[in-house]
Structure 1
């Protein structure tokens, strides 16, 4: 813009509005042909807009709800936690140990029993072989069975149906 000239004589939009170079980037970014800024690609209420971590959390809750239908109120005493990776994973891998998919700890006193599912190891194990939500359910069933001292098949009769032979 030439100093001392008005926007209407400089090829601006007229009407006293500053030209495109004077507007901030955000305002002129997607305002071509008067359309304004574009909205989100997927609205928040659609499943595709959720992150992998949010979907994983939902699958863990669905697994707990499936077990609640089988076992009733007893499952509500358990606490389900999702963690990205196990603590001390680097040391475990360095020693050549297998990466755990989950862990569990029995409750003591007022503290409830806790089942912790590790998101990254479960996702990498399921990659292409098993649906992630079914592997999550199998892992939750295994942990619950170890806490109760039972076989996984007695916890949920559908246990292991998606595992490759």
Structure 2
């Protein structure tokens, strides 16, 4: 299973709300356009174009791009490390002093390193929180830079190395 597939399966916050409890089948709402039949007939964008992707899918791509960039030079060191994306940090993290195991901005956790893993994952995990990161970014490029900074900071903490070793300044 590739890192991209694992990233999607670790995303514990997101779930498909339209799945029925019987057999996992999707329940489709009745197909209506609008009250007077003047609405859109189909999807706004075809499935292959970037406009069709959701914000969470685009954010997953940013995290995977950051991991791939680190994987080019540090593949052996981060082979046992998992990456996950969640929408928001749990309430309990706001009251804890997380120390170097978390990247925070004005008291809000942007990402966190779980050295012992999570209940469903037995190996170390880095979790990036989507909504706080997106709230601090002005555009997609700024969001990509912030995601990369969070991932590099937490990987450096995991490896016990300086950030400049992983991402040398240019």
TM-score (norm 2): 0.63
Give the structure with the larger helix fraction.
1
Match of 1:7 in 2: none
Structure 1: which 4+ aligned runs deviate by more than 6 Å? none
Higher relative contact order (CA 8 A, sep 6+): 2
What's the counterpart of residue 104 of structure 1?
A: 113
Provide, for residues 121-159 of structure 1, a one-character-per-residue CA deviation record: whole Å limited to 9, x for no partner: 11111235961111101100000011111111111225x
Across the aligned residues of Structure 1 and Structure 2, the Cα RMSD in angstroms comes to 3.2
Indicate which of 59, 63, 66 corresponds to 2:62: 59
CA contact (8 A) 2:94 2:109 kept: no
Is 1:85–2:93 an aligned residue pair? no
> How far does the alpha carbon of each residue in 1:53-110 deviate from its partner, in whole angstroms, 9 at most, with x for none?
1111111111111111121243232111111111116954xxxx610110002247x9
Unpaired runs of 5+ residues, structure 1, are 1-24, 32-36
Conserved? CA contact 2:93–2:109, under 8 Å: no
Gaps of 5+ in 2: 1-30, 96-105
TM-superposition CA deviations, 1:16-38 (whole Å, max 9, x none):
xxxxxxxxx9488259xxxxx73
Q: How many residue pairs get matched? A: 127
SS at 1:77's partner residue? coil
CA contact 2:85–2:127 (8 Å) conserved in 1: yes
